[in-house]
Amino acid sequence: MSTDLCQCRIVHEQQVEKARRAALPPAELDRLSQFFKAFADPTRLKILQALHLEEMCVCDLAAFLGVSESAVSHQLRLLRQMALVTNRREGPVLYYRLADAHVSQLILLALDHIRE
């Protein structure tokens, strides 16, 4: 018998109804799912970790990660689509940084959680 299952079958209607009322609309749930998928890739997490310290260009990030600039650009495009990073141009160089403090806070909260 699984320890994750109740030993008797009773549906608590009030709790079920409360959960239904609080449930996210499907479109918002899908967007949230996509958002968390952006954090699910080690390369993207390394990029976010590096950008937590300071802004960097694609060349810097490629050197840090030991991968091609093309691979970094692909990951940055995904991170930009999820509004996790933003960029600015200085002459011919495009610098990337975290979109806002929320991104750092999410990573730090997750680290606190897994380190407990």
pLDDT, tens digit (0-9, with 9 covering 90-100), for 52-96 = 999 999 999 999 999 999 999 999 999 999 999 999 999 999 999
Report yes or no on 3 lying in a domain.
Answer: no
Number of domains forming the structure of the chain = 1
CA count, 13 A, side-chain hemisphere, 81: 15
Residue 79 region, left (φ>0) first, then alpha (ψ -120 to 50), else beta? alpha
pLDDT in tens, 24-33: 999 999 999 9
Rg of the chain, C-alpha, whole Å: 20
Q: What is the pLDDT of residue 8?
A: 78
Q: What is the pLDDT of residue 3?
A: 74
Report yes or no on 62 lying in a domain.
Answer: yes
pTM beyond 0.85: no
Q: What is the pLDDT of residue 2?
A: 65
Q: What's the CATH number where 79 sits?
A: 1.10.10.10
Report yes or no on 110 lying in a domain.
Answer: yes
Across the chain, the runs of DSSP E, i.e. the strands, are: 56-57, 85-90, 93-98
Report yes or no on 21 lying in a domain.
Answer: no
Average confidence score pLDDT of the chain? 93
Report yes or no on 25 lying in a domain.
Answer: no
Domain range for 97 is 34-115
Report yes or no on 1 lying in a domain.
Answer: no
Report yes or no on 29 lying in a domain.
Answer: no
Report yes or no on 15 lying in a domain.
Answer: no
